[in-house]
Chains A and B, each alone.
Chain A
Amino acid sequence: MHRLLYAWLKEQWLILPILGFLLILLNVAMYIAWHLLGGTEGILGSLLQDGIEMVQVFGGQGVGPENLGASYLAVGWRHPIVVAMLAGYAASRGSKAVAREIEEERSEFLFSLPYPRFFILLAHFLTTALGVAVLSALLVYSSIYFSGTFGLEIAVSSYKATGYITFALYMAVASIAYFFSSFLRQGGWALNLTLVLVLALYAGDFGANLGFWENSSYTLFVNYRVAESLGGLSTLGPEALGFLGVAGLFLAASMAITTIRNI
Chain B
Amino acid sequence: MSVLQVTGLTKAYRRSIGQLVAKEARSGVFNINFSIAKGEVYGLLGLEGAGKTTLIRAILGFVRPNKGKVTFLGKKHYRILNTLLKHAGYMPQTYSFYEDFSGWQFLKFMASGRKVDPVYRKELTKALGLDADLLRSRVWEYSPVTQQKLVMVSAMQHKPAFLALDEPTCQMNMPERQAVYRLIDTYTAGGGAVLLTSESTAEVETICSRIALLDGGRIIAEETPESLRRKAIYNFAIHMDPAPDSSFFAETGASGPQAAGSSLHFQAAGDISRILARLQEAGRLKALDLERAPLQDTVSRFYKKEELHA
- A-side residues, CB < 8 A to B, are 1, 3-4, 7, 10-11, 13, 104-106, 108-109, 111-117, 259-260, 262-263
CA distance A4 to B88 in the complex (A): 19
Task: Number of B interface residues at 8 Å Cβ cutoff, please give it.
Answer: 29
B85 A105 Cβ-Cβ under 8 A: no
Flag if A4 contacts B63 (CB, 8 Å): no
> In the assembly, what is the distance between CA of A7 and CA of B97, in Å?
11
* Contact call A262/B64, Cβ cutoff below 8 A: yes
Given contact pairs A109-B109, A117-B82, A263-B62, a sample of 11 additional A-B residue pairs in the complex whose CB atoms are under 8 Å apart: A3-B108, A4-B112, A13-B100, A104-B96, A109-B110, A109-B154, A111-B62, A112-B85, A114-B112, A116-B80, A263-B63
- Are B109 and A112 touching (Cβ within 8 A)? no
Across-interface contacts of B111 in A (CB, < 8 A): 3
Of B57, B63, B92, B100, the contact of A109 (CB 8 Å cutoff): B92
- With both chains docked as a complex, state the minimum distance between the C-beta of B111 and any C-beta of chain A, in angstroms: 7
* Distance in angstroms between the alpha carbons of A11 and B105 in the assembled complex: 13
Q: Are B95 and A3 in contact (CB under 8 A)?
A: no
Across the interface, do B95 and A105 meet the contact criterion of CB distance under 8 Å?
yes
Interface residues of chain B: helix, strand, loop or mixed (majority)? loop
Pull 18 A–B residue pairs with CB atoms less than 8 Å apart, ordered by A: A3-B111, A4-B112, A11-B100, A104-B96, A105-B95, A108-B92, A109-B92, A109-B97, A112-B62, A113-B110, A113-B113, A114-B82, A114-B86, A115-B82, A115-B112, A115-B113, A262-B63, A263-B62
Q: Report the bound CA distance from A1 to B94 in whole Å.
A: 24
A108 CA / B63 CA spacing, docked (Å): 11
A263 to B82, CA, bound (A): 13
A133-B104 Cα distance, complex, nearest whole Å: 30
Contact of A114 with B114 in the complex, beta carbons under 8 Å? yes
Contact A114 B96 (CB under 8 A): no
Q: Say what secondary structure dominates the interface of chain A.
A: loop
Decide: A112 and B113 in contact? CB cutoff 8 A: no
**Chain A residues with CB below 8 A from B80, complex form:** 116-117, 259-260
Residues of A within 8 A of B57 (CB): 263
Q: Could you tell me if A3 and B64 are in contact, using CB atoms closer than 8 angstroms?
A: no
Q: Which residue of B lies closest to A8 (CB)?
A: B98
Known: A3-B108, A108-B90. A114 touches B95 (CB 8 A): no
Also in contact, A1 and B95, with CB within 8 A (given A111-B62, A263-B63): no
Nearest neighbor of A117 in chain B, beta-carbon distance: B82
* Given known contacts A10-B100, A106-B95, A116-B81, A1 and B113 CB-to-CB distance under 8 angstroms: yes
Tell me whether A106 and B98 are in contact in the complex, defined as CB-CB below 8 angstroms, given that A3-B111, A115-B113, A259-B80 are known contacts.
Answer: yes
Contact present for A105 and B96 (CB under 8 Å): yes
> Complex Cα distance A247/B95, Å?
31
* A114 pairs with B62, CB closer than 8 A: no
